[in-house]
DNA sequence: ACGGGGAGGCGAGACGTATCGTCTTGACAA
DNA sequence: TTGTCAAGACGATACGTCTCGCCTCCCCGT
């Protein structure tokens, strides 16, 4: 049950135990197939057998390395995404402009159908599986939030944001309405909405407010 | 496909077509059984056959009136909840106090295991089923948001909130971080958190800020 | 006013299909 | 020699459809 959502590394890495012989070719084929299939048929109709067949792989090869289709999808999705958050947010000295720029780009990304299916599926699968939820949060959600917290902290040190503001809560005020809107489909993610949200959040962060 | 999540009313009401004969007894038994079972085994392992068996009902009776287990659950859950949002938020003239009071109570509710399972299941099922999502939003989410928008509007008219504030976005800034935290398990819903959130949101709403 | 017929919902469960997760086989690579 | 690989057989489970009598209510003819 350990490593439930983080299978052993591919051959070449050196774990505590001797590296197991694993086909990198099969691993990539499985990840690619799962991403392609979830876009075509949706998460509910995504099956292990379907992934295996599409990847030209035996079912056992999937069951050997992953505990569930959600874990496969999380791996597949993480690989494509995690270099994005490594670079941090831009800092031009104008907090509002920086936030609007990045959130507008994020809105475009969230409106991209290729992105929607797997991300929705993961968000959703996590809600009913606490263990997967933790992996999803740790590997995708938290890193995304942290870059905003860092940017807010920088603005705080520059005097652009009041010193007594809880930057974590402020980041949530910015990001949660955004992702909630998208996840629950309570509204469109337009540039107008992003701008309104950023402006209203920042009103409460200004020094002396 | 019409009425996908809103089956015909029980006998006695008069629809456009002649009222169908439907057992109210079976309807209640199905709703009760689905709520009980989702709490016991979780959403993934909730099956139509299980509900039918628990309710002492034929499978066909469920398939006749609902399109999916999610639709059953939505009906079951809605029945218990919708009188709650009918009464609106308190208005003592102190917006911060009113919001904290209600959100603290909501936090208690969200921390109640009996509430968690079905609500999580619905939020989650909706993300992968656009039609169910709409029903979930219309019948549960939107009414909940609206009472906050109304309360904010009242505060706006009382001069407690700046006139140019978009009350809808403001309500989302308050509620989305809250529900996001709970849904994704990114943090605890404590009274402290609620208070911090309310205070920070309201900082941006004050006139002249 | 009433009583018989018929239409339709009802509980029960059989049915074929799909996918599950496990297990076995023989080839192949380290 | 040892462990992974592709392929697929296997029993179990739940799906959604269907058929069966039973029962209840509504309507119509008397």
Is the CATH code 1.10.10.60 the one for domain B24-76? Answer: yes
Query: How far apart, in Å, are the Cα atoms of B156 and each of B32, B93, B153?
Result: 42, 11, 5
Put simply, the answer to whether B202 touches A206 (Cβ < 8 Å) is no
Residue numbers of A between 37 and 66 with CB closer than 8 Å to B:
42-44
pLDDT category at B82 given cuts 50, 70, 90 is low
**What is the rounded CA–CA span in Å between residue B141 and residue B178?**
13
A29-46 confidence digits (pLDDT tens): 999 999 999 999 999 899
Show which residues sit with Cβ under 7 A of nucleic chain C. Answer: A 21, 45, 47-50, 59-60, 63, 68-69; B 20-23, 25-27, 29, 56-61, 64-65
Residues of B in Cβ contact (< 8 Å) with A110: none
Token duo for residue B144: 């909940």
User: What gap in Å lies between CA B105 and CA A44, rounded to an integer?
Assistant: 35
Q: Indicate the residue of A123, A128, A142 with minimum beta-carbon distance to B121.
A: A128
Contacts with B, A 104-163, CB within 8 Å: 120-121, 123-130, 133-134, 136-137, 141-142, 145
**Please, where in chain B does CATH 1.10.357.10 lie?**
82-203
Please tell me the CATH superfamily of domain A1-68, with its number.
Homeodomain-like (1.10.10.60)
Q: What is the pLDDT of residues A76-123, one digit of tens each?
A: 988 766 666 678 899 999 999 999 999 999 999 999 988 888 999 898
Quote the CA–CA distance of A160 and A153 in Å, as a whole number: 10
Of B141, B193, B204, nearest to A200 by CB-CB distance is: B204
Q: Which of B121, B177, B183 minimises the CB distance to A173?
A: B177
Query: Which nucleotide is closest, CA of B26 to its C1'?
Result: C10
Per-residue pLDDT reduced to its tens digit, B27-58: 999 999 999 999 999 999 999 999 999 999 99
CA distance A53 to chain B (A): 23
Name, in order, each residue with C-beta under 8 angstroms of B190's C-beta and a sequence gap of 6 or more.
B107
Which is the CATH superfamily of the domain at B82-203?
A: Tetracycline Repressor, domain 2 (1.10.357.10)
**Predicted confidence (pLDDT) per residue in B124-158, tens digit:** 888 888 889 999 999 999 999 999 999 999 999 99
What are the residue ranges of CATH 1.10.10.60 in chain A? 1-68
């Amino acid at each position: 049950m350990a490593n439930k959502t983080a299978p052993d590394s591919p051959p070449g890495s050196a774990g505590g135990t001797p590296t197991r012989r694993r086909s990198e070719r099969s691993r990539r084929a499985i990840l690619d197939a799962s991403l392609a299939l979830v876009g075509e048929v949706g998460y509910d109709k995504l099956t292990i057998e379907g992934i295996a067949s599409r990847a030209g792989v035996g079912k056992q090869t999937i069951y050997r390395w992953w505990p569930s289709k959600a874990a496969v999808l999380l791996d597949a999705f993480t690989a494509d995404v995690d270099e994005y958050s490594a670079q941090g947010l831009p800092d031009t000295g104008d907090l509002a402009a920086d936030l609007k720029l990045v959130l507008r780009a994020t809105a475009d990304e969230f409106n991209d159908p290729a992105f929607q299916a797997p991300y929705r599926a993961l968000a959703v699968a996590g809600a009913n599986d606490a263990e997967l939820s933790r992996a999803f949060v740790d590997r995708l959600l938290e890193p995304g939030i942290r870059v905003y917290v860092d940017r807010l902290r920088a603005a705080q040190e520059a005097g652009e944001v009041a010193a007594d503001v809880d930057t974590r809560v402020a980041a949530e005020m910015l990001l949660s309405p955004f992702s909630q809107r998208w996840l629950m489909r309570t509204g469109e993610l337009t540039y107008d909405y992003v701008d309104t949200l950023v402006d209203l959040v920042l009103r409460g962060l200004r020094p002396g407010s």
